[in-house]
Structure 1
């Protein structure tokens, strides 16, 4: 990648960083990406891949595989801290997960493809909405227009603070955890606080749930984790004994089968405690992520490409506990998600001081391009 290309994607990354948009609201970000690629004259730009999602298509003249490279459009509702010149202009919203950098890398791949078109098959650069809520990949895959893409391979990266800059982090099988947000609502009966015996308070059940949910993984043989993140009992009214309560928890496992087992156990536990206290209850879920399961064939492609580029590689044994909705693509086709070291001293993801390091952009572009050359040239 020449110096002009590097300069261009660094500048574009900072432009994206200054105008972040949260999940489901990425209209301007999507428009910027579309305008960037219109100037490159790809073979096709596929729109309406979920709300604001789009795919940029570069076709070869010969038959061959369809290779999908994915980046995320959305930012986080986190106030940015720091004094860099390209700081977020949207108060309370920031690219503190580095999706601005992921987009810039895939835009850099587009510049390389525009300069040298694929020889066979096609390459589709997907810019996906709503990764942070776990909705986006499903919206893309279930959209009508995705039927014309049908990838044979899918690749994505995530920057990783805590790892040496430009180090490539690899793992076969599970790479990131499955997770879901679980809300258990308990329904009793309010009464005057002077006569709590006339009502049915869910206080005891709520307390039992908080303790029992976090102990639940002890009964699951494989890795699982339950983190209670919020609980609410009644309202702030000193004259009222509460009749309603909610307990919210995040469930995590390293594979989707274990997630189903953990979910079943949690639901049975909630029902047992609610019935024991004579309460009605209901359960709902949000932000559901499948585990990202990396396939062997694309692992070999990425590993070989990194080796050829003389990049430092780190092969990890334990999956990351955080989640990524690339798991939906992983369940669809041959796929691989890898890590790109963002620096050992880099602030952590989802932290107000985080800013994607421009020094790793070129490595991301080079590795994706090398992977594509193995499949489409």
Structure 2
């Protein structure tokens, strides 16, 4: 029988509110209850964790991350995914989708195979939920930092072979003629996300009618909004069905654009991501992304031609940035990093919020600048700030 543990004295960030004077109880890997502090007796528990000075939230879920700590999801070394999983809890992340790049098919398949294997292992840090396949079925005109030579036409066989591990696929719908491709993705519960695309407003509306309405890193790698050609951005901002990723490093998306996105989409339509590369948590220097050299200087990651090449932001900083920039209520912002991606990925019944019966994935944030103090995955502390 598992021993009960308790979190006391924290401000619990629930799905729609912040509550104090409550105790969070968990047993093994499962949240057992939330009860009033006056009813709590410490002798009930094996361990009592004091969360004074902290917001206590569900663990963050990062559905779009290429790498961190010198490791990348495309690395051929098996330990790369282990490195990412081990380091992400210090950023508040308890679950993630390692994200592939536009490469030749053999490299993508090898990466998906490694992710499949890693997902089956007991997590030693953040949990791998599956893979986000970004490319190679994209529009060269909006390739961003993706490699043009590796861009390919959509191939159903890739989805058939790896439908169990791919949870999101980013593609340019205007480049795909075979509608059975989208049907297969739906059958395998793969989220089709529009990104690196020149899709028009009308094409986006057609995709929505087919049940495809997810947008990869809104505003980036797509045509700018125009008042006579609202395009992909106009469609995403005005259709309530659209769920939009947002990189909140204050580099990829201006603060005012973040405010605009929040006003248009509200709490339920946005998903905070990092889109981070291996340089995340590493500081300035020369790095690699998709086989291309990336220079990180003053927090900006760019290719030699000046193209932005992912970010080095961490999820806790993305949450803090969006909170400060928009003035949104904290539960709204936390939802964009927890329950929204959980719903996106079909795992909201067990992840994404502090509720009885859900998994004990818990993040403790300093109530000042929201830096991470402690992270719990499946009931086990996997990161704790050093005093």
Give your verdict on TM over 0.5: no
Query: TM-score, length-normalised on structure 2?
Result: 0.25
Higher relative contact order (CA 8 A, sep 6+): 1
Query: TM-score, length-normalised on structure 1?
Result: 0.25
User: Of Structure 1 and Structure 2, which has the larger fraction of its residues in helix?
Assistant: 1
